[in-house]
Structure 1
Amino acid sequence: MNHTPSAKPRLALFDLDHTLLPLDSDYEWGQFTVREGFVDARDFAARNAAFLADYRAGTLDVHAYVDFATEALRRLGPEASAAARARFMAEVIEPAIQPVARELLQRHRAAGDEILIITATNEFITTPIARALGVETLLALNLERDSHGWFSGRIAGTPSMGAGKVTRMQQWLAGRGWDWGDVHTSFYSDSRNDIPLLERVDQPVATNPDDTLREHASAHGWPILELFPAG
């Protein structure tokens, strides 16, 4: 990365699914629970696909989705869920992490940038993924805990989706004693849902963009990065 000299801290923000990963980890976790027999395969796959289509269209009811997506976790409990997640990481996620994604992260590290992943996928799924990518700061969708300390099926705080990503990032900055003007920010994302945050940062990068984001990026002169070329 060739950066102009700046006294400001530099933050490199990344979406996760279809940005650093060539798949949707939330959706793939759902498919994994089907294969493992944790859910009724008869209707789960169809509902999971419908929620994914809503997300891509920018119409997802995130609260309904989280209730649906955490149903298997709530039933399995902490120990069995952790074991299942370890298998999911080994079988689905780790083989999908591509060298080009690691190289992009490393270029930002070498330039002295602080790296954050900000994702609408929940913390249970994404915590080990961020760790596998070597990223310490993760702003994921937080899950509410019940009186037993396990997931309730509801969201805790502001969902890190759409305009909620701007709110979550603002909260993170405030926790460091910063505002937007105190830092230089770049943000990589594939999704139309992330246009609010892409418009807020100093350097938006449409990465493997969906059709809506590609059109928006082209109209606004944003760089377009094809990290995972087709074919």
Structure 2
Amino acid sequence: MGPLPDTAAAASATEPAGRIAAFFDLDKTVIASSSALAFSRPLLRQGLINRRAALKSAYAQLMFSLSGADAAKTERLREQISALCAGWDVAQVSAIVHETLHDVVDPLIYAEAVEMIAGHKAEGHDVIVLSATGAEVVEPIAELLGADMCVGTRMEISDGRYTGEVEFYCYGEEKATAARRLAETHGYDLDRCYAYTDSSTDLPLLEAVGIPCTVNPDKALRRTAIAREWPVLLFTKPVSMRTRIPSATTVALGVGVGAVAAGATWYGFRHRRKGTS
């Protein structure tokens, strides 16, 4: 098992012991697509969306993957999905997600992310997924990954149906707020915690932890990562979890967190503490 990164090792030697968590963004960090839009096809089959909406979602997903998710684009996607799901039956949506999870999401999961999660689990760290995608989608994916907890966007529900209003949008500063609340509740020392994300909109989350890591970063985040000497990881190998490991509960493989996953390239070989550049 490889050693922890240098900064984490130094922190362990000089600071009081505290629980450690690894916070993972979902879309384009753990999976190679938008998790919400990936379910367009099964939603179409079940009659929740029409073909025009499915094509629009496919186009939005293509633009999302080609040019990254800046604040304006993510907000447009949020508005589109919120308006689209107004009136949907919550139980039906949950059933569709669970029934099609392996077919839709399983092939999109990055092998490198699986290895990184396994390394954290092997070190005794909690793994937490934070995503702007709806909780009904995030929760089963997090379970598939073997994550300990997850936080996703919560839609308002009335009489078992979505109203189209958002109760909590797990995005931007709110994602960092969620991490702080979890740290307070579960006793995490954020200076010793990790965060992984691809988007510059998650900069508040990266700045909230002591060990920020970027994964397939957009242009703005890549510039920030290079300037602050944060690692830049390139995840390129989507692979089915069913062929990767026997089950989600066997995620604690003997892979050290300090060992860079296959295919990952580091720009910056030491972790800067929070507040330095």
Name the CA distance, whole Å, in 2 between partners of 1:9 and 1:177.
6
75, 79, 82: which one pairs with 1:61? 75
TM-score scaled by length of structure 2: 0.71
3-state SS of paired residue (2:118): helix
Cα gap change, 1:160 to 1:203, in 2 (>3 Å): same
2:175–2:205 Cα contact (<8 Å) kept: yes
Deviation sequence 1:84-114 (CA, Å, 0-9, x none):
2134313211222243322111101111111
3-state SS of paired residue (1:141): strand
Structure 1 stretches of 5 or more lacking a match?
A: none
Cα gap change, 1:33 to 1:22, in 2 (>3 Å): same
Name the CA distance, whole Å, in 1 between partners of 2:43 and 2:82.
15
After TM superposition, give the deviation of residue 79 of structure 1 in Å.
4.2
The two structures, once aligned, show a CA RMSD in angstroms of: 2.7
Give the number of the structure with larger relative contact order, counting CA–CA contacts within 8 Å between residues 6 or more apart: 2
116, 127, 130: which one pairs with 1:115? 127
Residue aligning to 2:27: 17
Residue aligning to 1:91: 103
1:205–1:224 Cα contact (<8 Å) kept: yes
3-state SS of paired residue (2:165): strand
Q: Which residue identity is paired with 1:96?
A: L
Cα gap change, 1:69 to 1:189, in 2 (>3 Å): farther
**Structure 1 residues 14-163: aligned runs within 5 Å:** 14-34=24-44, 36-46=46-56, 49-50=59-60, 53=64, 56-59=69-72, 60-61=74-75, 64-71=79-86, 74-75=87-88, 77-146=89-158, 148-157=159-168, 159-163=169-173
TM-score scaled by length of structure 1: 0.84
2:90–2:161 Cα contact (<8 Å) kept: yes
How many residues were matched structurally? 224
Q: Please, which moves more after superposition, 105-114 or 211-220? A: 211-220
**Structure 1 residues 135-214: aligned runs within 5 Å:** 135-146=147-158, 148-157=159-168, 159-176=169-186, 180=190, 184-214=192-222
Deviation sequence 1:111-141 (CA, Å, 0-9, x none):
1111111111110111110010011200111
Name the CA distance, whole Å, in 1 between partners of 2:33 and 2:57.
18
Name the CA distance, whole Å, in 2 between partners of 1:155 and 1:55.
23
2:134–2:152 Cα contact (<8 Å) kept: yes
Residue aligning to 1:2: 3
Name the CA distance, whole Å, in 1 between partners of 2:37 and 2:131.
13
Name the CA distance, whole Å, in 2 between partners of 1:92 and 1:219.
37
3-state SS of paired residue (2:164): strand
Q: Which residue identity is paired with 2:21?
A: L
